[in-house]
Amino acid sequence: MHVKKGDKVKVISGKDKGKSGVITHAFPKDNKVVIDGVAMAKRHLKGSAGKVGRIVERPRPIDASNVQKIEK
């Protein structure tokens, strides 16, 4: 994999093309990375025992081939 955790990258393909951010997690076996603020997905949480249900946005992994490392 050509990128690692902490690298600043730019998304070069997909729905978030053009966005940039820092890699927070890397999964070399799956060739995927999680970038802060990119590829956000909504997760619906059900309320239980007095807690209120809510919708949370979380970053999802994207393929490492869809990102390009930005030189610092």
Q: Would residue 1 count as lying in a domain?
A: no
Q: Would residue 2 count as lying in a domain?
A: no
Q: Which domain holds residue 38?
A: 8-69
Q: What is the pLDDT of residues 29-39, one digit of tens each?
A: 999 999 999 99
- Cα–Cα distance for residue pair 45/53, rounded to 1 Å: 5
Q: How many domains is the chain built from?
A: 1
What CATH number is attached to the domain comprising 33? 2.30.30.30
Q: Would residue 15 count as lying in a domain?
A: yes
Q: Would residue 52 count as lying in a domain?
A: yes
10 Å CB burial of residue 5 (0-12, 13-18, 19+) is: exposed
Q: According to the model, what pLDDT value does residue 71 have? A: 81
Could you tell me the pTM of the whole model? 0.83
Q: Are strands 54-59 and 67-69 parallel, antiparallel or unpaired?
A: unpaired
Q: Would residue 3 count as lying in a domain?
A: no
